[in-house]
Amino acid sequence: MDIWSWISELPNSVEWRNYEFDSPPKFELARDGHNDSTRSIYLKAERTSGSDSEALVTFMVFLQGFHPFNTQKPLWISEKCTLSSENPNFLPLLLQLLQEIISNSPTAHDSTCPRSQLQKLKPEPIAWIIDSHTPESLSIFFNLVFTIRLFWLCACDAPSEAGSLYFHSLLAPVLETALSKKLASVLRTFFITVGVDTELCFMRTLGYIIAKWCIIRELGVGLQTLVPSNPKFSYATESHGFWILKGYAPVMTMKLARNYGQNGKFQGIDAKESIIRYGLAHHQLEAHVQLEYTVGFYDGFIRVNTRVDNMRLHVARLGFKHGDDVDFVDEKHFPSRARVWVGPEIGASYVAGLSLGRSTENNEREVEIEKVVNGNFEKSDISKVKASAKSSRRMRTKSWRMDQDAEGNAAIFDVVLHDNMTGQEVGSWKPTGDDPIHGLRGRYVGANRPFSKSGSVVIAGDEYGEEVGWRLSKEMEGSVLKWRIGGEFWVSYLPDQAKGSHFETRCIEWCDEVDLPLIHGKLP
pLDDT per position as a tens digit, 275-297: 888 889 999 999 999 999 999 99
DSSP label at residue 91: H
Beta strands, E only, 356-448: 366-376, 384-394, 400-407, 410-417
Q: Which residue has the higher pLDDT, 432 or 190?
A: 190
How big is the chain, counted in residues?
Answer: 524
Helical segments of 171-258, H only:
172-178, 181-194, 196-218
Domain assignment present for residue 456? The answer is yes
Beta strands, E only, 299-409: 301-317, 334-344, 351-355, 366-376, 384-394, 400-407
pLDDT per residue over 88-132, tens digit each? Answer: 788 999 999 999 999 888 876 556 555 555 568 888 989 988 888
365 vs 216: CA distance, rounded Å: 52
pLDDT at 388 over 60: no
pLDDT per residue over 17-55, tens digit each? Answer: 655 555 678 888 888 866 556 888 999 988 876 666 677
pLDDT at 176 over 80: no
Q: How far is the CA of 168 from the CAs of 64, 207, 223, 458, in angstroms?
A: 17, 17, 7, 39
Indicate the residue among 92, 126, 151 that finishes a domain.
92
Domain assignment present for residue 432? The answer is yes
Domain assignment present for residue 179? The answer is no
Q: Is 354 helix (H, G, I), strand (E, B) or coil?
A: strand
Tally of structural domains, the chain: 2
Domain assignment present for residue 469? The answer is yes
State the average pLDDT over residues 325-331: 71
| Selection from 510, 171, 112 nearest residue 316 by Cα | 112
Domain assignment present for residue 185? The answer is no
Domain assignment present for residue 352? The answer is yes
Domain assignment present for residue 435? The answer is yes
Indicate the residue among 92, 111, 135 that finishes a domain.
92
Domain assignment present for residue 135? The answer is no
| Selection from 510, 471, 482 nearest residue 345 by Cα | 482
How many other C-beta atoms are found inside a 10 Å radius of the C-beta of residue 86?
A: 8
Q: Is 416 helix (H, G, I), strand (E, B) or coil?
A: strand
Q: Is 267 helix (H, G, I), strand (E, B) or coil?
A: coil
The overall longest dimension of the chain from CA atoms, in Å, is 130
Query: Which run of H or of E encompasses 131?
Result: helix 123-132
Q: State the average pLDDT for the chain.
A: 81
Structural domain of 34: 3-92
Q: Which residue has the higher pLDDT, 355 or 434?
A: 355
Indicate the residue among 92, 115, 148 that finishes a domain.
92
Band the pLDDT of 309: cuts 50, 70, 90.
very high
